[in-house]
């Protein structure tokens, strides 16, 4: 597999990209079970420059689960991606709809850095 620039990706880079893609797909489908399945049990979610926001898959579920249930639509896409070994950095556009799935209420751009260990997302830093 190669990236958008035609550069051949290593097996670990392919695996890193695949788990992040599954995570984005589950996020967009508001599927908390599939979303949580892409994360380590002791996942860490950080915000730059604030530091650790929370740790652990159970907290991930209680944080994202209500959001998935309450919104009519979630859509996140990677605008730009860099992958190097087990680190993937995405510039993402995330949009959500709270009342009408065709009317975007919130739109943000974020840089997300994912560290993948043993095929699962271990650490995320949002900027």
Q: Is 2 inside any structural domain? A: no
Task: Write phi, then psi, for 69 (nearest 5 degrees).
Answer: -75, -35
Q: Is 31 inside any structural domain? A: yes
CATH code where residue 42 lies: 3.10.450.50
CB 52 within 8 A of CB 125: no
Q: Is 74 inside any structural domain? A: yes
Among 76, 73, 81, CA closest to 108 = 76
3 pLDDT higher than 80: no
Domain count, the chain: 1
Report, in this order, helix, strand and coil percent for the chain, each rounded to 5.
Answer: 30, 45, 25
Q: Is 71 inside any structural domain? A: yes
Q: What percent of the chain has pLDDT over 90?
A: 89
CB 13 within 8 A of CB 83: yes
Residues sharing a CB contact under 8 Å with residue 117, sequence separation 6 or more, in sequence order: 40, 86
Domain span at residue 91 reads 11-126
Q: Report pTM.
A: 0.91
pLDDT digits (tens, 9 = 90+) for 60-111: 999 999 999 999 999 999 999 999 999 999 999 999 999 888 899 999 999 9
Q: Is 3 inside any structural domain? A: no
Q: Is 4 inside any structural domain? A: no
């Amino acid at each position: 597999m190669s990236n958008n620039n035609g550069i051949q990706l290593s097996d670990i880079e392919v695996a890193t990209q695949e788990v992040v893609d599954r995570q984005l797909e589950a996020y967009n489908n508001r599927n908390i079970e599939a979303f949580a399945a892409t994360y380590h049990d002791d996942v860490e979610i950080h915000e730059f420059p604030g530091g650790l926001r929370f740790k652990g898959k159970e907290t991930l579920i209680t944080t994202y689960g209500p959001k998935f249930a309450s919104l009519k639509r979630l859509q996140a896409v990677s605008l730009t991606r860099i992958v190097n070994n087990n680190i993937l950095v995405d510039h993402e556009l995330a949009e959500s709809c709270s009342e009408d799935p065709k009317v975007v209420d919130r739109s943000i751009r974020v840089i997300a850095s994912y560290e993948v260990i043993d095929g699962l997302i271990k650490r995320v830093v949002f900027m």
